[in-house]
Amino acid sequence: MPLPALLRLAFVVLLALRYRLKLILGIVVAVVIGLSLTFISGKIYQHLDRDPDRGAIALEDGAFGESYSTPIYLDQGWSPADTLWYYNTTQGSALLPYDLFVALEQPASEELFRSDHNMDRYRYLPQKPTFFNPDGLPVGFAKDSYQGKDYLGFTCAACHTGQVNYQGQAIRIDGGPALADMDGFLHGLEKALSAARDIPAKRERFIDRVLQRDNDYRSPEAVEADLAQWTEQIRMYNTINHSHIRYGYGRLDAFGRIYNRVLRHVVNREQMRDLLLAAEGPTGELLLTEAEVDRVLAGIEPTLIDDTAFTRIVSRLQSSDEGLPGLSQRNLLRLRNQLLNEPNAPVSYPFLWDITHSDYLQWNGLANNADLGPLGRNVGEVIGVFAKLDWEVKEPGFSLSGHLTGQSNKRERIAFTSSIDLVNLQRLEAHLGRLTSPQWPEDILGEINREQAALGKRLYAQHCQSCHQIIDRSAWDRLVVAEMTDIEILKTDPKAAENSVNYQGKSGNFENTYQNTTVGPLVLEATAPAVQILTSVTKGAVSTPDADKGPLRRTLDWFYVLGLSWFDNDVKYSVKAGDYRPDTTARPYHSLLAYKGRSLNGIWATAPYLHNGSVPTLYDLLLPAREEGDPEEGAYRPEAFQVGSREFDPVKVGFRTEGYEGFTQTTHRLGDRNTGHEYGTDTLTEAERWALVEYLKTL
């Protein structure tokens, strides 16, 4: 080729490369600018609500006769704006249409269900209206908009904000365990919705209130239709999560309920049909005929069963209309136990300070906190608190979620469209990185006896520190190591750990997909461990950009979330510490049969104690549990005590346990037991117990 022609060709190539480089550079600049604007706008927004009281209010004549002044806040590293952003930042939770909730009356009166005193009765914390919370909802309740409609949802703060009262003075504990009765709240909500649906005068007032809001509803018919639908949906949720173990205040079997919510979305119609046909009554008789099963499943889609469809199935199972089985509540629960699992292992809500500095989380160390672990953990939590799971059946073809969940070679794949807000989940996790534990307020709860505490410190080093490390509460580089102890060694109530390993469900479209574990890849069978199915679902949700945004915004936000989640996490993968059964190829989840010991800074503000809240005070924890054959006379942990009061006992360190009609916590049943963790209780003198309690106040 002549030289001029070569020069022209080279010039054309250079122009093309220049154009391509400009295009690539333009895209990179646009992404960087987009991510920067997202970050900056988010930071500005976080500081728009600066109420000096952080929205807290005084309450007169609250539950159990308690009154308290406007709560004060201890120094935990957060400003008023930080606290209010945490209280009101949505995760994608959609418990109920927002207009229905704010208009709802209590079942036996015209007082609103959301009134301060009613919310206080369930031990949710009342708030006044502020910028982020114009309707004055309690701590942890927020408006969440999804697909053009407003919903009431739970935020992290609903379960992880505490309060202690002492002689009329309230102290809010950010990140502390709530004393909430979530199960009682949801049953109360069901009764209130049923009353609004069934009592004409209530229904008329309810419809008027909803329409006056001039928000998501335009006609009485639309309000009535949604009222009927959501009443049945809440009823269905309460029915399938019924447990013979009563939770009471400050406890919830969160994992049992998350498992159930995932399993009922994963099961397909064919698997559901097989289960219904095989369901047996108490004497081995079949509960349903083939004709009844076909009527129950009429019109149900083959691959996915969403909330509406599952609600329809449960309603049909209970209906006595022509051709339907009319199952009793007892037989319905028998059927539940063959499809799902009884959530019968309530645990205390954990405190949140130090979680971003911890290697493993959850009571049994289920959640590895390295890399994208926090995002997966938080996605699972939002699924449990009513994220709308608008999963879709797609044709075969590549998608990131399909690839990560092993569905690439399936005839159909599930796309994990949902209301989960990945951006806010990442921001909330980062926000918690600045939260520190509360320190004992001597000006309110009394001075610490430093001489006793010094003796207690020596005893702590001897009896406690091998599992409960001492950390600098405010050190930015602190690492909290979970010391796992096998349930056979620890001997605390084993039910929560056992359920995490033993609970199973139908795997639906995940059948015969592969999943990596610490001992190698596993195949999900038709009936698989619930923990495997939850892992697949969380992978799918994490790899799915937020559905409620435009294409460019959702893509930029998704890269922003994954980038910050990965690079902003200083926790690296490590093998679990402690004394526990290792995972093996035959038993890949054996290490979960253990509970973790953790740093005890701020432990004074987290009663009741042990993982299942079965011991009311720190002093009681230093006593042995009474076993069969022990003499009746002696110092033992309480076998029954009252729960619900926020009045603090600064001597034994815990909440008031008598003198009021709260929830009676008993300790004789599996799931409620107060046994185990008796290190040193047989050798400590009474004076040494009190010295240890005094030292624990200083942490």
Statement to judge: residues 500 and 361 lie in one domain: yes
- 263 with 387, same domain: the answer is no
Q: Are residues 169 and 300 in the same domain?
A: no
Q: How far is CA 532 from the centre of its chain?
A: 18
pLDDT for residue 566: 85
Q: Is there a domain that residue 692 lies in?
A: no
Same domain, 332 and 364: no
d(CA 597, CA 320): 51
* Whether residue 84 sits in one domain with residue 159: yes
**How many structural domains is the chain composed of?**
3
Asked if residue 477 is part of any domain, the answer here is yes
The answer to whether residues 226 and 281 belong to one domain is: no
pLDDT recorded at residue 682:
85
Instruction: State which of 187, 212, 240 marks the end of a domain.
Output: 240
One domain for residues 367 and 329? no
Compute the distance between CA of residue 4 and CA of residue 72 in angstroms, rounded to an integer: 82
Side-chain half-sphere of 216: how many Cα atoms within 13 Å? 20
Question: What span, in angstroms and rounded, lies between the C-alpha atoms of 591 and 532?
Answer: 15
Asked whether 313 and 268 are in contact (CB, 8 A), the reply is no
User: Residue 86: what are its φ and ψ, rounded to 5°?
Assistant: -65, -45
Q: How far apart are CA 325 and CA 310, in angstroms?
A: 16
18 inside domain: no
Strand, helix or coil at 514? strand
Pure H helices in 46-111: 80-88, 98-103
Sign of torsion over alpha carbons 127, 130, 135, 140:
negative
Q: Can you tell me whether residue 367 is helix, strand or coil?
A: strand
pLDDT score of 236: 95
Q: Residue 550 has what pLDDT?
A: 87
Q: Would 388 be classed as within a structural domain?
A: yes
CA dihedral 393, 394, 395, 401 (to 10 degrees): -120
Check residue 139 and report its DSSP letter.
Answer: T
Establish if 51 belongs to a structural domain. Answer: no
Query: What is the identity of the amino acid at 125?
Result: L
pLDDT per residue as tens digits for the range 289-342: 999 999 999 999 999 999 999 999 999 999 998 889 999 999 999 999 999 999
The residue among 616, 625, 627 whose CA lies nearest residue 663 is: 616
Please indicate, yes or no, whether residues 197 and 323 belong to a single structural domain of this protein.
no
113-167 confidence digits (pLDDT tens): 999 999 999 999 999 999 999 999 999 999 999 999 999 999 999 999 999 999 9
Do 266 and 507 contact (CB within 8 A), yes or no? yes
Same domain? For 334 and 377 the reply is no
**Spatial distance between the Cα atoms of 535 and 530, rounded to a whole number of angstroms:** 9
Q: Which pLDDT score, from 0 to 100, does residue 521 have?
A: 94
Domain that holds residue 560: 347-596
**What are the b/e assignments for 429-455, b being 16+ CB within 10 Å?**
bebbbebbbbbbbeebbeebbeebbeb
Q: For position 671, what pLDDT does the model report?
A: 97
- Residues 381, 520 within the same domain: yes
Enumerate residues 6+ apart whose C-beta is below 8 A from 292: 323, 324, 325
pLDDT confidence of residue 173 = 98
Phi, psi of 89 (to 5 degrees): -85, 125
Residue 667 lies in a domain: no
Q: Please check whether residue 493 is in contact with residue 593, taking contact to mean a CB–CB distance below 8 angstroms.
A: no
pTM greater than 0.85 (yes/no): yes
- Tell me which of 292, 314, 339 is where a domain ends: 339
User: Which pLDDT value is given to residue 136?
Assistant: 97
Same domain, 229 and 303: no
Q: Which parts of the chain have pLDDT scores under 50?
A: none
Which of 339, 370, 392 is the C-terminal boundary of a domain?
339
Whether 105 contacts 206, CB under 8 Å:
yes
Contact residues for 437 (Cβ-Cβ < 8 A; gap 6+): 76, 351, 353, 354, 473, 601, 602, 699
Q: The tokens of 485 are what?
A: 């102890």
CB-based contacts of 629, cutoff 8 Å, min separation 6: none
What is the pLDDT at residue 317? 95
**371 part of a folded domain:** yes
Quick check: is 638 in a domain? no
Residue pair 424/669 in contact (Cβ under 8 Å)? The answer is: no
Contact between 121 and 113 (Cβ < 8 Å): no
Q: What are phi and psi of 361, to 5 degrees?
A: -125, 175
Residues 6+ apart with CB under 8 A from 201: none
The answer on 259 and 172 residing in a single domain is: no
